[in-house]
Amino acid sequence: MEDTIGVLCPFTGKGNLPVPTSPVWAGSVPGENIWYFSHDEVESDGLADAVGHLMGEETDIRKTMRCIEALQNSGNLQRVGEWWFLRLPQLPRLELPSVADIVLAVADGTDIVSETRSKFETYAQQLQTALTQ
Q: What pLDDT sits at residue 90?
A: 63
What's the pTM value of the predicted model, to 2 decimals?
0.52
Same domain, 22 and 59: yes
Could you tell me which of 73, 1, 88, 74 has the C-alpha nearest to residue 36?
88
What size, in residues, is the chain?
A: 133
The CA distance from 23 to 9, in Å, is 21
**32 and 85 share one domain:** yes
28 and 79 part of one domain: yes
pLDDT digits (tens, 9 = 90+) for 21-77: 555 555 555 545 566 666 565 555 566 776 776 666 666 778 878 888 888 888 778
Give the chain's mean pLDDT.
70
Domain range holding 111?
92-133
Whether 29 and 55 share a structural domain:
yes
Residues 28 and 62 in one domain: yes
User: Among residues 55, 74, 90, which one ends one of the domains?
Assistant: 90
Q: How many CA atoms lie within 13 A of 68 on its CB side?
A: 21
Instruction: Pick the closest to residue 87 from 132, 45, 2, 25 (CA basis).
Output: 25
Domain shared by 84 and 99, yes or no = no
- pLDDT band for position 6 (50/70/90)? very low
pLDDT of residue 5: 46
Whether the pLDDT of residue 112 is over 70: the answer is yes
